[in-house]
Amino acid sequence: MSRVSIIALVVFAVLTGLVLSMRLPAARRLQAAMLEVVRPLHTATNGVGSRLNALGSGLKSLEQLERENADLKVRIAELSTTNQMLSDLGSENDSLRKALDFKKRSGFNLLPARIIARSTATWWSSVQIDRGEQDGLDSDMPVVTDLGLVGKTTTVGATTSYVVLIADENCKVAATVEGTTETGILSGGRASGATQPDLILGYLSKSAPLQNGQKVLSAGVSGGVFPAGLLLGTIRSFQVHELDARAVVTPAVDLSRLENVFVVRPIPRATAVDAKPPPARGNRP
Same domain, 214 and 96: no
Number of domains in the chain: 3
The tens digit of pLDDT for each residue in 104-134 reads: 555 678 899 999 999 888 899 999 999 999 9
Q: Which domain holds residue 45?
A: 8-51
In a domain, 284, yes or no: no
Q: What percent of the chain has pLDDT over 90?
A: 39
Measured between alpha carbons, how far is residue 108 from residues 88, 137, 162, 164, 198 in Å?
29, 15, 21, 20, 27
Same domain, 166 and 30: no
Sign of the dihedral through C-alpha 199, 112, 119, 85: positive
In a domain, 275, yes or no: no
Q: Which of 267, 228, 229, 262 is nearest to 110 (CA)?
A: 262
pLDDT at 138 over 70: yes
Same domain, 18 and 93: no
The tens digit of pLDDT for each residue in 7-21 reads: 655 555 665 665 555
In a domain, 285, yes or no: no
- SS3 state at 8: helix
pTM above 0.85, yes or no: no
Please state, rounded to an integer, the average pLDDT across all residues of the chain.
Answer: 77
pLDDT of 34: 58
pLDDT of 17: 63
In a domain, 56, yes or no: no
Q: Which of 249, 251, 267 is nearest to 144 (CA)?
A: 251
Same domain, 114 and 243: yes
In a domain, 73, yes or no: yes
Report, as an integer, the average pLDDT of 186-192. 79
Same domain, 198 and 232: yes
The tens digit of pLDDT for each residue in 238-275 reads: 988 878 899 999 999 999 889 999 999 887 655 434 44
